[in-house]
């Protein structure tokens, strides 16, 4: 059998229909481009859809918030690894991007006093200001707005159940800037129709999400996160940045297996008195609600490595002290149920009633949640390259990225609630830039002149259908997932990185021995094969960057190296894979925040942590009255009633996120 090829022409192809892809497609269409959006899941079904629905809206909760503060917050929390042009773009565009979502029908929780989006009562996940806004129906509200935007625009064609396999590029001609590679389109496997689709287009926007499936089942994300974004870009020769920086969210389910990996809380969930404990009840981290996700995950994983972890390889989040106080306890329970409603529901179902009531501590373990590294781009999502010292040049002309696919915005730590805004900001920027490039493209790739270039890609793909072999990609995937958690997961050493490299050597050879039957429609073995191929390439990039990162910073702990100090000179890792050559790794030095500013930031941070310690040391009655006052100040009098019990949670959630 020879799988048929269908040819199509567009100005812009967008890969992925989550928050980032949908916004890219709409922006490109608004700019006059003909757009194809391709998605392996149904349109809009993505991590964006299963998210908690909390979005960063600048100035929504604190009068003294500003663009400068938000940009600085992103950079400093990210260990000075984030690129300033990207954090500035995020801070600048975030309000407009959010307003565009509202025009598509998104309805935020509203502060009825001044009729503006209402932020959570406490700063979330490392933010220095209150600016995280909740939405009724959580991520579904966002995904519905995205779906509406894509489906209703007649300039956007869409393909669902379709796997984007590769970007097709040609070497640049002398007349082109730098003579660098140029995108001429992409190749797609349309599973439902059993066809290959060869798309000629001068711009491709990769918005195909992250890589967390590399760590399955220790992840809270959708199963389609098989690193396709990074693998496709790496095969085309693009630079990837900060690939060692995987974000592991600290508070996820360790057991039972049917809930394993799912999100049950954020640092802010712990509220004023929540602490982390080891299996002996010893406090391993206090002031949890003020900590970053990275700090909490590191504390848990170091405890596990010391042999003091919980039975399922985690630790205990103990919030009982919040609950026990007669005056402030009801406020806390209401806060717990309404701040992250979906996560709280999962906690109740997975851990049971006593845990949901906070009568007992929660067993928690980190899960892979977000890839903070990714395709190296400028502030418009265009692929960039250049020397390790940070001097930037055009990377691959016509290659763009946005959302989780893109790197450089978060560095070593992503602040909570930032994605839903990020996807809209950089989706729109990359869509506009992709449309502009298509308009200006010297060669319109519509005359068949480049068809020969596609021939190799098509022939290589066709050959896989009917490949004989003794191995199943799905089984190889399981080995890779287990070993990735153990060796390039939240805890690493040089020895462990070498172990995964050895496994990857073997897996690369095994790919030619994977059995793939010879039929075109819904060939699941072919899909498993492609996803394994992408996972292997992505794991290579993570391992190469992890080897270069000689210390603990952000998303992971290096047991054989020290902490990287905030005062040392920051650098990002940059990896790339020239065709038929070994992975290349280098460093891009980053400007360090002036020492005085870091010192001031640290003083403020320590002062806030000292206040929590003081609060915890107060006699019970005094502590309770103080907490009641604090909760009243941030939640108002209504915060206390009705007291939330598992049975009453749904009603309370409805109140908390009233549109």
Ligand X SMILES: Cc1cc2nc3c(=O)[nH]c(=O)nc-3n(C[C@H](O)[C@H](O)[C@H](O)COP(=O)(O)OP(=O)(O)OC[C@H]3O[C@@H](n4cnc5c(N)ncnc54)[C@H](O)[C@@H]3O)c2cc1C
Q: Is residue 197 part of the contact set for ligand X (CB under 6 A)?
A: no
By CB under 6 A, the count of residues binding ligand X is 41
Q: Which stretch in 48-56, 94-102, 448-456, 587-595 sits in contact with ligand X by CB under 6 A?
A: 48-56
The DSSP string of 493-532 is -HHHHHHHHHHHHHHHHHGGGB---S--TT-HHHHHHHHH
Minimum gap (Å) between residue 15 Cβ and ligand X: 5
Pull the structure tokens for residue 585: 């790794």
Comparing CA positions, the residue from 209, 233, 242, 220 lying closest to residue 537 is 233
**Tokens (6 digits) for 93:** 């565009």
- Any contact of residue 40 with ligand X (CB under 6 A)? yes
Segment lying near ligand X (by CB under 6 A), choices 39-47, 170-178, 193-201, 569-577: 39-47
Q: Does 623 bind ligand X (CB under 6 A)?
A: no
Find the shortest distance in angstroms from Cβ 101 to ligand X.
12
Q: Interface with ligand X by CB under 6 A: which range of 43-51, 294-302, 324-332, 637-645?
A: 43-51
Q: Which is nearer to ligand X, 16 or 646 (CB)?
A: 16
> At CA 471, angle to CA 470 and CA 475, rounded to 5?
155
Does 363 help bind ligand X (rule: CB under 6 A)?
no
d(CA 532, CA 270): 38
Stretch touching ligand X by CB under 6 A, among 34-42, 252-260, 304-312, 612-620: 34-42
Instruction: By CB under 6 A, name the one of 150, 191, 420, 504 that touches ligand X.
Output: 420
26 binds ligand X (CB under 6 A): no
Nearest residue to ligand X, by Cβ distance, number only: 18
- DSSP letters, 288-305, are GGGS-HHHHHHHHHHHHH
Give 79 or 403: the residue with its C-beta nearer to ligand X: 403
Q: Identify the residue among 12, 35, 50, 640 touching ligand X (CB under 6 A).
A: 50
From the number of C-beta atoms within 10 Å of its C-beta (0-12, 13-18, 19+), residue 255 rates as middle
Taking the complex as a whole, the smallest distance from the CB of residue 75 to ligand X amounts, in Å, to 18
- Phi-psi category of residue 547: left, alpha or beta, with phi > 0 → left and psi -120 to 50 → alpha: alpha
Among 11, 59, 166, 220, interactor with ligand X by CB under 6 A: 220
Answer yes or no whether residue 484 interacts with ligand X by CB under 6 A. no
Q: Which is nearer to ligand X, 42 or 326 (CB)?
A: 42
**DSSP alpha helices (H): ranges in 367-493?**
419-440, 451-464, 473-488
Measured between alpha carbons, how far is residue 57 from residues 65, 249, 289 in Å?
10, 22, 20
Angle between helices 524-548 and 228-236 (to 10 degrees): 80
Tell me phi and psi for residue 550, to 5 degrees. Answer: -95, 55
Residue selected from 417, 481, 523, 576 as contacting ligand X according to rule CB under 6 A: 417
125 binds ligand X (CB under 6 A): no
CB 140 within 8 A of CB 46: no
Binding-residue pattern over the window 227 to 246 for ligand X, x denoting contact by CB under 6 A: -x------------------
- By beta-carbon proximity to ligand X, the closer residue of 538 and 623 is 538
Least separation in angstroms between CB 21 and ligand X: 6
Nearer to ligand X, 329 or 554 (CB): 554
Enumerate residues 365-384 that contact ligand X by CB under 6 A: 369-370
Pairwise CA distance, residues 449 & 458, whole Å: 16
| Among candidate residues 215, 145, 200, the one with its CA nearest the CA of residue 167 | 200
Distances (CA, A) of 295 to 78, 266, 616: 12, 12, 20
- Does position 317 bind ligand X by CB under 6 A? no
Closest distance of CB 30 from ligand X, Å: 18
532-579-373-420 Cα dihedral, nearest 10 degrees:
-70
Q: Note whether 309 binds ligand X by CB under 6 A.
A: no
Q: Please identify, among the stretches 28-36, 217-225, 237-245, 460-468, the one whose residues bind ligand X according to the rule CB under 6 A.
A: 217-225
Stretch of 1-9, 33-41, 494-502, 551-559 contacting ligand X, by CB under 6 A: 33-41
Contacts to ligand X from residues 158-177, by CB under 6 A = 162-164
Judged by beta carbon, residue 332 or residue 426, the one nearer ligand X is 426
Q: What does the alpha-carbon distance between residue 326 and residue 623 come to, in Å, rounded to a whole number?
A: 11
Query: What track of x and - describes contact with ligand X for positions 318 through 357 (by CB under 6 A)?
Result: ----------------------------------------
- Cβ-based neighbours of 572, under 8 Å, separated by 6 or more: 81, 241, 242, 408, 411, 587, 588, 590
* Of 25, 28, 54, 304, the one binding ligand X by CB under 6 A: 54
Distance of closest approach, residue 328 Cβ to ligand X, in angstroms: 26
d(CA 186, CA 170): 12
Report phi then psi at 40, rounded to 5. -80, -25
**Within positions 260 to 299, which residues make up the interface with ligand X, using CB under 6 A?**
263
Spatial distance between the Cα atoms of 366 and 300, rounded to a whole number of angstroms: 8
Binding footprint of ligand X on the chain (CB under 6 A) = 15-21, 38-41, 46-48, 50-55, 162-164, 207-209, 220-222, 224, 228, 263, 369-370, 403-404, 417-420, 423
């Amino acid at each position: 059998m020879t799988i048929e090829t269908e040819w199509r022409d567009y100005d812009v192809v967008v890969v992925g229909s989550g928050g980032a892809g949908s916004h890219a497609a709409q922006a490109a269409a608004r700019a006059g481009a003909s757009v194809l959006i391709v998605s392996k899941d149904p349109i809009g079904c993505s991590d964006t859809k299963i998210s908690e629905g909390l979005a960063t809206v600048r100035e929504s909760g604190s009068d003294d918030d500003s663009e400068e503060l938000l940009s600085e917050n992103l950079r400093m929390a990210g260990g000075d690894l984030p690129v300033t042009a990207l954090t500035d773009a995020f801070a600048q565009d975030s309000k407009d991007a959010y307003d565009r979502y509202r025009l598509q029908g998104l309805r935020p929780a509203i502060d009825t006093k001044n009729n503006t989006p209402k932020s959570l009562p406490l700063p979330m996940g490392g933010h220095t200001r209150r600016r995280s806004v909740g939405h009724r129906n959580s991520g579904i509200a966002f995904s519905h707005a995205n779906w509406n935007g894509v489906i209703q625009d007649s300039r956007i064609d869409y393909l669902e159940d379709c796997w984007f396999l590769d970007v097709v590029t040609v070497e640049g001609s002398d007349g082109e800037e730098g003579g660098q590679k140029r995108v001429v389109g992409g190749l797609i496997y349309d599973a439902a129709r059993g066809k290959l689709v060869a798309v000629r287009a001068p711009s491709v926007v990769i918005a195909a999400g992250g890589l967390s499936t590399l760590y399955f089942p220790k992840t809270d994300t959708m199963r389609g996160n098989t690193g396709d974004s990074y693998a496709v870009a790496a095969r085309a020769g693009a630079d990837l940045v900060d690939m060692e920086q995987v974000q592991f969210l600290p508070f996820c389910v360790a057991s039972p297996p049917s809930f394993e990996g799912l999100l049950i809380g954020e640092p802010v969930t712990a509220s004023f008195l929540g602490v982390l404990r080891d299996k002996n009840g010893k406090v391993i981290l206090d002031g949890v609600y003020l900590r970053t996700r990275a700090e909490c995950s590191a504390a848990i994983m170091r405890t596990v490595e010391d042999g003091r972890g919980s039975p399922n390889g985690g630790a205990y989040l103990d919030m009982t002290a919040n609950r026990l106080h007669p005056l402030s306890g009801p406020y806390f329970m209401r806060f717990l149920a309404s701040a992250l409603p979906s996560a709280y529901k999962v906690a109740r179902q997975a851990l049971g009633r006593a845990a949901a009531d906070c009568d007992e501590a929660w067993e928690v373990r980190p899960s892979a949640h977000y890839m903070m590294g990714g395709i190296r781009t400028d502030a418009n999502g265009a692929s960039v390259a250049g020397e390790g010292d940070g001097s930037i040049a055009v990377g691959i002309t016509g290659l763009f990225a946005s959302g989780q696919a893109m790197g450089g915005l978060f560095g070593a730590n992503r602040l909570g609630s930032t994605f839903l805004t990020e996807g809209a900001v950089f989706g729109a920027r990359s869509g506009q830039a992709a449309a502009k490039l298509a308009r200006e493209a010297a060669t319109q790739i519509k005359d068949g002149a480049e068809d020969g270039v596609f021939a190799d890609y098509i022939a290589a793909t066709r050959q896989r259908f009917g490949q004989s072999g003794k191995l199943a990609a799905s089984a190889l995937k399981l080995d890779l997932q287990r070993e990735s958690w153990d060796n390039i997961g939240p805890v690493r050493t040089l020895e462990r990185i070498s172990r995964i490299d050895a496994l990857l050597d073997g897996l690369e050879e095994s790919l030619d021995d994977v059995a793939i039957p010879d039929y075109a429609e819904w060939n699941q073995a072919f899909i498993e094969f492609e996803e394994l191929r992408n996972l292997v390439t992505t794991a290579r990039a993570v391992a190469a960057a992890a080897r270069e990162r000689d210390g603990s910073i952000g998303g992971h702990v290096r047991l054989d190296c020290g902490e990287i100090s905030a005062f040392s000179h920051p650098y990002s890792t940059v990896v790339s894979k020239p065709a038929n050559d070994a992975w290349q790794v280098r460093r891009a030095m980053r400007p360090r925040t002036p020492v005085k500013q870091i010192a001031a930031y640290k003083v403020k941070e320590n002062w806030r942590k000292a206040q929590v310690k003081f609060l915890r040391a107060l006699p019970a009655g005094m502590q309770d009255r103080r907490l009641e006052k604090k909760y009243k100040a941030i939640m108002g009098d209504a915060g206390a009633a009705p007291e939330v019990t598992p049975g009453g949670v749904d009603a309370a959630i409805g109140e908390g996120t009233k549109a």
